[in-house]
Amino acid sequence: MGEAHPQYSDREVIQESEYDWSCVSGYLQSDETVENYLKRFQQEWDKTKICPNPGVYVIENSDWDGGLDRERFDLKHFLILGDFCFIEILAKNCTWVSEGNIAA
């Protein structure tokens, strides 16, 4: 099951203050400059070969169940952030395959 939603405001796709971002290393930390953040972000990406903030998340301790019995069916809450919208998905698992970049 999934739902698509328009962006929350002109500056945020979702209301970011409603989420705990402490496990997402790709966010600007309160005690670092933008320059240090960008350096740390690039170093982590180079080291792990995984984007530190990919825009795709598993929401832990979510109360959103979309009308389904999430625990009974062992469903996870996935959040996918775009530039102007976001998608929430309830599923046992979620995978994707990149089809490359869209050429203009």
Contact (CB, 8 A) for 14 and 98: no
In a domain, 104, yes or no: no
Angle at CA of residue 2, ends 23 and 14, nearest 5°:
45
In a domain, 102, yes or no: no
This prediction has a pTM of: 0.70
Residue-level pLDDT at 46: 93
| CA pair distance 37, 98, nearest whole angstrom | 27
Residue-level pLDDT at 72: 79
> Which residues in the chain land under pLDDT 70?
66-67, 100-104
Domain residues for the domain of 16 are 2-91
Q: Please state the separation of Cα 30 from the chain's center in Å.
A: 19
Residue-level pLDDT at 38: 94
Number of domains in the chain: 1
In a domain, 103, yes or no: no
Contact (CB, 8 A) for 84 and 13: yes
